[in-house]
Amino acid sequence: MELRPYQREAVEAVYEHLRTRDANPCIVLPTAAGKTLVIATICRDAVGLWNGRVVITAHVKELLEQSLEKLRAVAPDLPVGLYSAGLKRRELNYPITIAGIQSIYQRACDLGPVDLIIVDEAHMLPADGEGRYRQFLAEAKAVNPHVRIIGLTATPFRMNSGMICAPENILNAICYEIGVRELIIQGYLCPLRTKAGIARADMSGLHVRAGEFIVGEVEDLMDTDDLVQAACGEIIEHTADRRSVLIFSAGVRHGQHVVETLRLLHGVECGWVDGETPTRERDAIIGRFKRGDLKFLANCNVLTTGFDAPAIDCVALLRPTLSPGLYYQMVGRGFRLHPDKTDCLVLDFGGNILRHGPVDDLCIKEPGKGDGEAPAKECPECHTVVHAAFSVCPECGHEFPPPARSKHEPQATNAGILSDQVTPSAHDVTDVWYEVHHKRGDPDAPPSMRVYYQCGFATTFSEWICLEHSGYPRLKAEAWWRERSNEPVPDTVDEAVDLARCGALAPTLGITIRRKPGSRYDEVVGHVIGPKPPHIDTDEGAAQYASLPGGLSESEVPF
């Protein structure tokens, strides 16, 4: 079971958090990032290294079955039992138990001592459902006072936008997070493209209940002959070269209307599943879709969290939602890699991208705070959804009119289905300085090493290397140092600055800079690095370091 680098970082971040903090951590990994491997590694370590016991919880029986199937697939040697009244299984005497919280929350004493409780798909934990977890945790602590909870999710907020991590919540802090864009760049997730549907309804009259559009109103609005026929026509047009198209409808009646329109007007078969579809029929339809025998599959509220079909290369959103989590989960069905696809097309007929922003940088609003600035804009010529800061459409060349000046600078918002729509800029580095940096206004914060890159006569950029931090920042700092030096990674920033000024680091020849529109700061996202210098203990290294200046004082930095 070989972990990817970010999966190993996530596991180590959890262990660091559990060792150093009296709080329950949450891991945030994008859909399709392989959280099952992370869960399996934690379970294997808990059982094999520490002789511990683990409970993995979920809210619906489908997720329990999927968790059991996936865990057995990636770690067949782990002893796993299943406890679920709905699945008619009550297996308790296992080191690892996958359980439905509704079935297990009053059975902590029957389980015996438990060391870890892992909450899978933690974003599905409703605020009013934490009571069961609190009861289960309280009883589990009565048996083992040292039991801890770990959450895993792709979206660390509830469907109504409430954050799941807070001091008073079951989960208290995010210990590790990596984004969609980073994993696309690294080749672990599928690239995305987006188009806004031409046929759209006016949603200004929809009412909101509990943070979401009222379902019946949404379905009535979307389920008209004109809208359905126009949307189906666009879907057929844009998916001529696509192999696997997943459609999300606004309701059962609306979805069945879409299925019939595709069949009658376009002569294509579209499968349909909803919460009332019999299990055997649903499994058969989904099986055909996954095998490639069925190109189109529509659904209502059943193929979001936990549905894996790697070949999906188009997701059509025919339902508007105020939930950034639901929007993310729908788009996330296209994240997985597959040898038969080069990207995934997102067709948005519900204005969701404009409403919520890119899936790698969602615009999370507090309930009741209003809509604020739109985090995206649509090209009127080709209907591509692009970053709000674009002046020219990258697809067709349309020039957007300049924004109206306002009294204050507008709040930064990111757009497009991914936020990295701004072209990074490369710079040659002419000199580098290293300084100890203390966070202004926070004397208790650990220091960091600030690295200044001079690029030309009057242009300087900087980044911060967090060697005295813990968890993921320390891991990143260690990797940064090892890439540049043969010396051991320093424990302190003072030591690192001394070594850097003495020439222990490879020269930086160039850097790549990116700035998100609206941000005041540039971000160093890439480096061109020369050869590592020899180890200081060698004769060659000692001679080379002795010939170098001892570095620059703080007053000599050209700022």
What share of residues in the chain are helix, strand, coil (percent, to 5)? Answer: 30, 20, 50
Q: Are residues 130 and 238 in the same domain?
A: no
Q: Is it the case that residue 139 has pLDDT exceeding 70?
A: yes
- Structure confidence at residue 342 as a pLDDT band (50, 70, 90): very high
Q: Which of 9-18, 197-206, 320-329, 409-418 has the highest mean pLDDT?
A: 9-18
**Do 196 and 95 belong to one domain?**
no
DSSP conformation letters of 170-235: SB-EEEEE--HHHHHHTTSS--EEEEE-S-----TT--EETTEE-HHHHHHHH--HHHHHHHHHHH
Query: 370 falls in which pLDDT band (50, 70, 90)?
Result: very low
Q: Check pLDDT > 80 for residue 103.
A: yes
Strand order across the 508-514 sheet: 425-428, 508-514, 523-529
Q: Would residue 470 count as lying in a domain?
A: yes
Q: Are residues 174 and 191 in the same domain?
A: no
pLDDT classification of 410: cutoffs 50, 70, 90: very low
Q: Is residue 269 part of a domain?
A: yes
Give Cα 443 distance to the centre of its chain. Answer: 32
Burial of 370 (0-12, 13-18, 19+ CB in 10 A): exposed
**Residues 341, 198 within the same domain:** yes
Confidence of residue 168 (pLDDT cuts 50, 70, 90): confident
Cα–Cα distance for residue pair 317/338, rounded to 1 Å:
21
DSSP strand pairing (148-153 vs 25-28): parallel
Whose structure tokens read 């209307």? 257
Predicted pLDDT at 367: 47
Which has more confidence, 303 or 368?
303
Same domain, yes or no, for 171 and 151? Answer: yes
φ, ψ of residue 264 to 5 degrees: the values are -80, -40
- Does residue 431 carry a pLDDT above 60? yes
User: Quick check: 460 and 486 in contact, CB under 8 A?
Assistant: no
Domain final residue pick, 336, 360, 386 = 386
Amino acid at 356: H
Report the CATH number at residue 338.
Answer: 3.40.50.300
One-letter-per-residue 3-state SS of 109-142: HHHCCCCEEEECCHHHCCHHHHHHHHHHHHHHHH
pLDDT of residue 363: 63
Last-in-domain residue among 124, 158, 178: 178
Angle in degrees, CA 52, 54, 59, rounded to 5: 170
Percentage of residues of the chain with pLDDT beyond 90: 43
Q: State the Cα–Cα distance between residues 121 and 544, nearest whole angstrom.
A: 54
Residue with the bigger pLDDT between 262 and 164: it is 262
The model's pLDDT over 51-99, given as tens digits with 9 standing for 90+, comes to 899 999 877 777 788 788 888 888 888 899 998 887 888 888 899 999 9
Q: How far apart are the first and last CA of the chain?
A: 50
End residue of a domain, out of 386, 416, 443 = 386
**pLDDT digit string, tens, across residues 447-469:** 999 998 888 655 678 899 999 99
Enter the pTM of the model: 0.67
Note whether residue 229 is domain-resident: yes
Q: What is the DSSP string of 365-376?
A: --TTS---S-S-
**Average pLDDT across the chain, whole number:** 82
- Same domain for 146 and 232? no
**Nearest 10 degrees: Cα torsion 88, 41, 137, 18:** 180
Residue 481, domain member (yes or no):
yes
Task: Tell whether 400 is covered by a domain.
Answer: no
Q: Determine whether 366 is exposed, middle or buried from the number of CB atoms within 10 Å of its CB (0-12, 13-18, 19+).
A: exposed
Residue found under tokens 């439905």: 100
User: Within this chain, do residues 146 and 202 fall inside the same structural domain, yes or no?
Assistant: no
Whether 171 shows a pLDDT value over 70: the answer reads yes
Mean pLDDT of 186-211: 84
- pLDDT of 6 > 90? The answer is yes
Q: Are residues 248 and 287 in the same domain?
A: yes
Does pLDDT of 151 surpass 90?
A: yes
Q: Mean of the pLDDT values across residues 507-511?
A: 92
Q: Are residues 539 and 477 in the same domain?
A: yes
At 405 the pLDDT is: 36
| Paired residues of 247 in beta bridges | 298, 316
Q: Is residue 406 part of a domain?
A: no
What is the residue type of 417? I
Q: What is the per-residue pLDDT for 376? A: 59
Query: At residue 395, does pLDDT exceed 80?
Result: no
Which residues are within 8 A (CB) of 217 and not within 5 positions of it... i.e. 6 or more apart?
A: 206, 207
Residue 157 lies inside a defined structural domain of this protein? yes
Inter-CA distances, 486 with 231, 449, 480, 537, Å: 59, 18, 12, 10
pLDDT at res. 537:
66
Range of the domain at 370: 186-386
DSSP state of 47: I
The reported pLDDT for the residue numbered 63 is 76
At position 528, the amino acid (one-letter code) is: V
pLDDT in tens, 282-301: 999 999 999 999 999 999 98
Q: Same domain for 501 and 363?
A: no
Q: Report pLDDT digits (tens) over 7-52.
A: 999 999 999 999 999 899 999 999 999 988 999 999 999 998 888 9
pLDDT confidence of residue 518: 46
Lowest mean pLDDT among 177-186, 307-316, 514-523: 514-523
> Does the pLDDT value for residue 302 go beyond 60?
yes
pLDDT at 549: 44
**Nearest-angstrom CA–CA distance, 221 and 233:** 18
Same domain, 459 and 534: yes
Q: What is the average pLDDT across 522-542?
A: 79
Helical (H) or strand (E) element with 104: helix 101-104
Look at residue 392 and tell me if it is in a domain.
no
| 250 and 114 within one domain | no
Q: How many domains does the chain have?
A: 3
Measured CA angle at 348 (ends 343, 349), to 5 deg: 150
pLDDT at 420 over 60: no
β partners of residue 25? 173
DSSP state of 1: -
